[in-house]
Amino acid sequence: MMMRFRQSKRHSVILEFLSNNIGTMKKVLIVDDSAYNRTLLAALLRKKQLTVDFAEDGEDAIKKFSEYNPDVVFIDYVMPKKSGVEALREMKQRNPNFVGIMVTSISAAEDVQKAKDAGANGYILKPYQPEKIFEVLKKFQIIE
């Protein structure tokens, strides 16, 4: 009896959360060829109640972008098949209204300029502090 009560209470809490947030939960696409980096960033974003999807390379990113229509894309620079900058440029051509953030260890001026030209809205150097991710998300009003 007590177990049923607890379960129904838990369900009602989940339902209440979903009814309040459904349709308003921001979607994030994480593009990185490293599974470790994807998992790490996803764990941070889920803490802020963001829904997350993944892509492993530039081509996969473009495909997922069309299907998932994310509000934010965190994208690595060096990836197989298509680089992060090329993928970002294609995504921005399809829909310029999302926030594209490069997350990379590359900081050479030439490469940074390429990212800026491709339409990147932000640039975070690896290794990053979690606060840096949240700071950028706040800047673009993705989280409060």
Interaction mask 33-72, another protein, x per CB under 8 A: ----------------------------------------
- Cα separation, 79 vs 135, in Å, equals 25
Site for another protein in 68-97 (CB under 8 A): 77-78
Decide whether 54 or 123 has the Cβ nearer to another protein.
Answer: 123
Contact 102, 115 (CB under 8 A): yes
Would you count residue 125 as binding another protein (CB under 8 A)?
Answer: yes
Q: Indicate the DSSP class of residue 96.
A: T
Binding span for another protein by CB under 8 A among 24-32, 43-51, 66-74, 110-118: 110-118
Decide whether 2 or 109 has the Cβ nearer to another protein.
Answer: 109
Rounded (10°) angle between helices 109-118 and 84-94: 20
Structure tokens at 2: 């007590």
Structure tokens at 75: 């994208």
Contact with another protein (CB under 8 A) among 54, 123, 137, 142 = 123
- Nearest distance, CB of residue 15 and another protein, angstroms: 40
Residues 6+ apart with CB under 8 A from 112: 106, 123
2: amino acid identity, one letter: M
Binding span for another protein by CB under 8 A among 14-22, 63-71, 84-92, 113-121: 113-121
CB-based burial label for 53 (10 Å; 0-12, 13-18, 19+): middle
Would you count residue 132 as binding another protein (CB under 8 A)?
Answer: yes
> Under the rule (CB under 8 A), what is the footprint of another protein?
77-78, 105-112, 116, 120-125, 127, 132
